Amino acid sequence: MANAAQSEVTGFSAGVMRFLESIEYRRIESSDDLEDIARLRYKAFTTVGLARTNDELLLIDDLDFKPNAHVMGIFFDEQLVSTIRVHHVTDAQRDGVAVARFPDVMHPLLDAGKTFIDPVRFAADPDIMREYPALPYLTLRVATMATVYYDVDFCLSVTKPNHRAFYKRVFNSIELAGPRYVEQYQNELELHGANANELKRTLFKRYPFFDSQPHERKMMFAPREVLGLTPLTILPTARYAIQQASRMARTD
């Protein structure tokens, strides 16, 4: 079955898919795990000049603990190599970086009933990144899974201007707000959004490693009371999603 699925994936995506097979995702819910996340954020942010040595709010902040927040760790060979936090932002739950930094843009959209995934705090071990440059894709895979799981209207990107081209190329994101200087980060940030329907229609065909099966998304984002026990690790299901899509295509 793996060989059959591999025939559906070639080039760049095939290499990322092979890397994905060594990846595990974990929900970060304990204080010890959050300390590991803080250390990784510090290492990553100071490398790119986003954090000063005493800027603790860039490591752990109140938004990490909001009810609509999900902090995820990405592990490679049992080592924490990257992390991302996503907020499910709705009219009723407006906590998130996009709302905090771009309130004039976000509040009218939320008032109109639009819903969002707001992925932020992307941090990757710079040493691992040099050896495995595909790591950002597998980290941002969390955001694409959340977009499908919560069935939102947009997946957002709060990013530095020099990252704009990446989000446009990969996610077809459009600009919602131009650059604004943020003192806390000592950088300009801008807001972009990817239409979720368009994302689901085209992204998984272009980059099949972003795909997933329902049970993986459930383990990632379902409330504890739904799951019973929080899973220790979550294995990627992209290859199985490709197999299923291939079978369905052959029966149509």
pLDDT range class, residue 67, cuts 50, 70, 90 = very high
Comparing C-alpha atoms, which of 81, 186, 200 is closest to residue 133? 81
DSSP designation for 91: S
Q: Which long-range contacts (CB under 8 A, 24 or more apart) does 17-21 make?
A: 17/208, 17/209, 17/238, 17/239, 19/132, 19/134, 19/135, 19/138, 20/138, 20/209, 20/236, 20/238, 20/239, 21/236, 21/239
Say what the pTM is: 0.88
Which tokens hold the place of 33? Answer: 């795990």
For residue 56, is pLDDT > 60?
no
Decide if pLDDT at 89 tops 90. yes
Domain ranges across the chain: 2-244
For the domain spanning 2-244, the CATH number is 3.40.630.30
Write out pLDDT tens, residues 209-252: 999 999 999 999 999 888 887 788 999 988 776 666 555 555 55
| Per-residue confidence (pLDDT) for residue 248, from 0 to 100 | 52
Averaged pLDDT of the chain: 88
Q: What is the pLDDT of residues 14-40, one digit of tens each?
A: 999 999 999 999 999 888 899 999 999
